[in-house]
Structure 1
Amino acid sequence: MTTATQPLKTAINIAWLVKLPSLARSFLIKFGYAATGILFPLLVLALWQLAFEKNWLPVQILPPPSLVWQTFWELIDSGDLTSNLWISIQRIAWSVLIGGGVGLAIGFAIGLSKRAYAYLYPTFDVVSQFPVVGWIPLLMIFLGIDEALKVAAISLAVVVPVTVSTYKGIRNIPRALLEVGEVYQFTQLQRLRRVVLPAALPSIFSGIRQGVMQAWLSLVFVELLASSEGIGYLMVWGRQLMQMDIVFIGIIVIGLVGVVLDFVLRFIEARLQTWRRSAF
C-alpha cells in the first residue's frame, strides 16, 4: 500500500464508522415497527397456551394451540378447509360484482343528475338504514334458501358504501375542474372520463374497499345463519360437534383472508392512482 492511498482508505473507514450508528438506528426502527405488529398476537398465543396448561377452561372450550395447528393441516389434507373457503370466495366475488355494479350505477346517477337525486336518494337513504340481517327473512320468501339468498344478502352490504362514496366523490369535485371541461368543450363521455372519474376515484375506491370488507363480514354472518357450505358453515359444523379447534381455525382464516383482501385492494388503489394522475 502506498502512502498516497493509505489516507484515503482511512478516511473511508472513518466515514463508515460515522454512518454505522445511523444505519443501525434505521434498522432498529424498521425492525421495531415489524416486531410491534406481531407482538400482540404472540402475547395472545402465549396467554392461550398458559390458559390451557393451567386448566383455566375445559379443553372442549379452549383447545391448545398445538391441537388447532394439527386440525388445521388435517382440514387442508382432507380438502374441507380449502373447498369451503373457495365457496366463500366465489360468493364474495359475485356479490362484489353485483353489489358494486349497482352501487356505482346509483352513485353516478344521483351524483351527476339532480333529478335522479330527487327521485332515488330519499328511498335509498331509508333502505340503507336496514342491516343485512333484516333483509334475510324477506329474501327467503322470494329467493328461498339457496345460493341466490347468500349472494343477494351480501350484495346489499356492498351497495350502500359504494353508492355513498361514489355520490360524495362526484359531488365534492371542485367547480374549477368542471369548468375546465366546459372550456375544452368536452362531450359528456369525455367529461366523465377526463374530469369526473379521475377526480372522484379516491372516494369511489374507498367505497369499494369498504364494500368488500362489509361483504366479507356479512358473508360469514349469512353462512352462519343459512348455509350448508362455506367457512361460516365450517364453524357451525365444528360447534355442533363440540370441536372448538375447528371454530378457532375458522376465526383465524376469516381474519387472515380479511388482511389479504385489504392488502390486494391497497395494491390496486396504488396502481389506479398512477392512472388518475395521467388522466387529467
Structure 2
Amino acid sequence: MQISDLATALPRLRDTPARRWRDILIHPLVLRLLSFTAAFALWEYAGRIPLSPAFPTFLETLGGLGAIIADGSLLKAFLITLYPLAIGLAVSVLLGVALGVLMGLHEPSEWLIAPLFIIAQAAPLAALIPILTFAYGIGLTAKIMTVCIMAMPVIVLNTLGAVRNTPKSLLEMGRSFLATRSQSIRLIILPAASPMIFAGLRLGCAAAFIGIILAELLITPTGIGDVISYSQSVADYPKMYAAILAIIAFSVLFIELLERIEVTLFRPEGRA
C-alpha cells in the first residue's frame, strides 16, 4: 500500500462505531439532556421517599402544570408578572449600560458612582424590599424598583469592566489612524466591550427574574407569586411547584435566547 492510500484509509479507521457513539454521547445537547434527566429523576425519587409531605414528585408537578395551563391561570399570571419585569429590565439595561460606559470613559464618574453599585451588589437587596414598599407603596412602582435594584448593579459593573478592559493595542491602532474620540468609542471601544456587556445582561436578567418573584411574594401576591402563595395556602403543592418550575423554565429560555443573540452578533466562531 502506498503512503497516499494509507493516509486516505486512516480517517476511515479512526471513524469506528465506538468513536461515533462517543461523539454522540459528548455532544453538548446530549449532555444537557442527561443533566436534566438526572435532576428530574432525583426529584421523582425524592418525592416518592417522600422527602417531605409538601414535596410532590416530578410527575405530580407535571400534572399540576397541566392543570394551571388548562384553566388559563398560568398564562394570566405570566402576563401580570412580565409587565413590571419588562419595564424594570428595559430601565436597567438602558440606564445600566449608559452608566457603565460613562464610568468606563470618564474616571471621575467612576469614583463618584461605582461605589454605590459595588455596595448594592454586595448588599442583601431582598432586605430593601420592605423599605421600597414603605416608600412607594404596594403598586407597580415598588415592583419595578425591585427589579432594577436586583439587575442594574451587575449590568453597570460588567459594562464598566468591559469598557475599561478594551485592548490597548486596538486603542493604539486607532490613534495611529488619527481616529477622533467619538470614532474610537463607536468603532473600537463599544464593539470590543460588547461580548462582556452581553454577559452582564444575561446575569442582570437572571437577577431581574429573582427580583420580580421576590416582589410578588413580599410586596403584593400577584402573577406567578399569587399562584405560588395561593397554592401553598391551600396545600396544593403540585401546582405550587409547577408555577416555580414554569418561571424557572421561562427564565432559562430567555437567557438562552440572549446567549444565542450574543453568539450571532459577536462570536462568529461559536455559530457552528
Output the TM-score relative to the length of structure 1.
0.81
SS in 2 for 1:162: helix
Q: Which of 69, 75, 91 is the aligned partner of 1:76? A: 69
C-alpha RMSD of matched pairs (Å):
2.7
2:20 aligned with 1:23, yes or no?
A: yes
How far off its partner does 1:197 sit? 0.5
What corresponds to 1:5 in structure 2?
A: none
Q: Distance in 2 between matches of 1:271 and 1:174?
A: 22
CA contact (8 A) 1:45 1:65 kept: yes
1:100–1:29 distance in 2 versus 1, CA, 3 Å: closer
Q: Deviations over 1:44-88 (max 9, x none)?
A: 244145325xxx654xx2345454333322211221111112222
Which runs of structure 2 are paired with 1:82-121 in the superposition (5 Å)?
Answer: 82-121=75-114
Q: Please say if residues 129 and 146 of structure 2, whose CA atoms lie closer than 8 Å, have aligned partners that are also in contact.
A: yes
Instruction: Please point out which of 168, 174, 182 is paired with 1:175.
Output: 168
The farther-off stretch of 101-110 and 209-218 is 101-110
Match of 1:163 among 147, 153, 156: 156
Query: For residues 147-186 of structure 1, what are the alpha-carbon distances to aligned partners after superposition, in whole Å with 9 as ceiling and x for unaligned?
Result: 1110111111111011111111111112221122222222
Correspondence 1:156-235 to 2 at 5 A: 156-235=149-228
Q: How far apart are the structure 1 equivalents of 2:242 and 2:221?
A: 18
Runs (5+) with no aligned partner, structure 2:
1-8
Post-superposition CA distance 1:199-225 (Å, at most 9, x none)? 111221111111000111121111111
TM-score, normalised with respect to structure 2: 0.83
Q: 1:70 to 1:43 in 2, by over 3 A?
A: closer
> Which amino acid in structure 2 is aligned with residue 26 of structure 1?
D
Aligned to 1:36: 34
Tell which structure's C-alpha radius of gyration is larger. Answer: 1
% identical equivalent positions: 23
Q: Deviations over 1:182-201 (max 9, x none)?
A: 22222333211211101111
Residue of structure 1 in register with 2:5 after alignment: none
**Other structure's SS at 2:49 match:** helix
> What is aligned with 2:241?
248
Deviation at 1:18, TM superposition (A): 6.8
Taking structure 1 as reference, are residues 25 and 240 closer, same or farther at Cα in structure 2, changes over 3 Å only? closer
Distance in 1, Cα, partners of 2:243 & 2:206 = 17
- Closer, same or farther in 2 for the Cα pair 1:80/1:196, shift >3 Å? same
Q: Which amino acid aligns with 1:36?
A: L
